[in-house]
Amino acid sequence: MQKFCRHAWFSSLAILVFQFIFLEVAIAKEDEQNIEAFSDTNQSFVQAANNVKSDQKPLINSNSADGLTDQAQAGKDEVLPNNNGLEQINSVSELSDVQPTDWAYQALRSLIERYQCISVSGDRRFRGNEALTRYEFASGLNSCLNKITQLIGVAKPDSVPQQDLATIKKLQDDFATELRSLTTRIGSLEARTAELGTNQFSTTTKLNGLAVFTLTGATVGDSVKAEGSSALPPFILRDSNNKPIVRKIDNGSTTFSNLLWLSLNTSFTGKDVLVTTLAAGNGNSPANQFVSAGLFNSVGSPFFEQTSGPNTGQTDVVIRELFYTFPVNESVRLTVGPRVNSVYHFDFNRFTIPINGTSSFNSPASTFVSSTIRGAGAVVEWNINKQLELHAGYLAESLEFLPGPRPAADPSKGLFNGTHTITAELTFKPTQTANIRLLYQRSHLNPIFGLIASKPIIGIADDGFGEAVNDATADTFGVNFDWLINRRFGIFGRYYYSTTEIDPVKPGRLSGDINAQNIQAGLAFPDLGKQGALGTLSFVIPFDVKSGRQFLASGAGNGGTQYEIEANYFYPLARNIALVPSLYVIGNINNFDDNPTVFVGSMRTQLNF
């Protein structure tokens, strides 16, 4: 929609009315052609019009079944203007950037001092040379006409000059036919809206969905070494000499899997949201054939090729997310729930969102964060100012893909005695296109059958002799950045370092630390080949063990360093349909420096609604 200069808009009330009617006639014709689409979105449009909030991004995007998509779409969809924080002015002299020599000065003076229908932001600047959107146009016009109507209603003498009334009357007469047509069409839309309101699923809840079909193939030129008798339990980890068992795999395969997320997003006040996400999927990447024990979904596995529940390869319906977010005040929001998704709050990066950015399991966030990727607890977010944002949270592990009762709901462990994390992240925004995030996470890790197999450990840790360990603690420090250098090019990266303390159960066994690092660096190419497309090239070192290899029954390999190169291209076919080809090249897989290179190719079809 064409934008107008503010001075031109306010130069004459008569011209304003004329422009508004002209625009509405043109839009009415467009609405007639797209009436079905308008009817589908009318309810949300009205709700948005009544609930405009300042400085508040939506938690769940309307085109997404997952909060990851919300960040992916941020800034792309135009929303209603922010009218909060505006102040009524009574004199044109209160405008700091309007001078008597300005050509629209008298028109502004008339509207302000005669009708008091002009509001400005707190800095008392009119910004007359800035563009004016249709929403601002309609809002200002409506304000002035409402004021005129009020003045006519109270019938104050000379409250509305006869010249102004004559101008409005003439415009009404000149456009009588168009106005009657508009009235008819608006009546039809109101009838349709009423019908939708009567038959809609809920007045407070909106359903969003994401369906993904993934075709993946993995190949290798020679046998791959992997630790442990199998990738998934039950497995044997050490031989009679306490050395990690090594097996060989030499066959690749091709799989075709599905994943479905359904999100019910409920708002009670317009500023809060209750998120309930159901998931079902049967994905199991062929790359998982080549991995060591404890490295499942950590080597060239597409993110959306996943099994939602605890039974790998079976399509079970599970509750993936369940949390409630609401504002505490203008700058603080609180999220609480039995299954909070931590990726919405920590280690976010604009170019590593799997729905349109980097797409392997090792890319969306640090491989060290977090053992409570979904957990029970609370996260607080504080927008300190335009450049600083602080997030902090406590989450007890509540992973939907692990069997049995999860710690937070297990009376034998509870909210504070099972695996849990305390996380703090400070985001610094030096410019509107750059973000630097500093993160610290303190993890308390419960052993599973006496073994530690939770992040930041990528693999399985014991006491060095195949026997049990006590609860472990870990400290993880990291930095994460993204920078959109220009409209077509960006860079991103991460560096994380973790220390996990291992405490053997058996008396006399020495304790120690496992120290490791995680590195990622990448390039991003927005709008590559088409508007809305995104190409990414990423280099990842998921788990480089610096010391403490003796405690790793699986994951350390022979001291090599696994690396991955990922090329990903998100190509939107339509607003809600996309194709996403990806290629993953994995060197030194399983941290064996003599392993052959593994190639994984994937083609994803993605439909969101």
Q: What is the pLDDT of residues 480-522, one digit of tens each?
A: 999 999 999 999 999 999 999 999 999 999 999 999 999 999 9
Neighbours of 495 (CB within 10 A): 16
Instruction: Look at residue 23 and tell me whether its pLDDT is greater than 50.
Output: no
Who's near 462: CB < 8 A, 6+ residues apart?
A: 237, 238, 450, 451, 452, 468, 469, 551, 553
Domain with CATH 2.40.160.10 in the chain: 204-608
Instruction: Look at residue 219 and tell me whether its pLDDT is greater than 80.
Output: yes
Beta strands in 236-357 (DSSP E): 246-249, 253-266, 273-281, 318-327, 332-341
Who's near 107: CB < 8 A, 6+ residues apart?
A: 10, 11, 12, 13
pLDDT at 156: 55
Check: CB of residue 226 under 8 Å from CB of residue 291. Answer: yes
- For residue 342, what is the DSSP state? G
Amino acid at position 295, single letter: L
User: Could you give the C-alpha distances from 131 to 1, 74, 539, in angstroms and in order?
Assistant: 11, 22, 42
What is the overall mean pLDDT for the chain? Answer: 83
Instruction: Look at residue 428 and tell me whether its pLDDT is greater than 60.
Output: yes
CA distance 91 to 313: 70
pLDDT at 258: 96
pLDDT at 28: 37
In this predicted model, what pLDDT tens digit does every residue of 517-575 receive, in sequence order?
A: 999 999 999 999 999 999 999 999 999 999 999 999 999 999 999 999 999 999 999 99
Percent of the residues in the chain that have a pLDDT greater than 70, as a whole number: 80
Number of H helices, E strands in the chain: 9, 24
Name the CATH architecture for the domain at 204-608.
Answer: Beta Barrel (2.40)
Q: Let me know how long the chain is.
A: 609
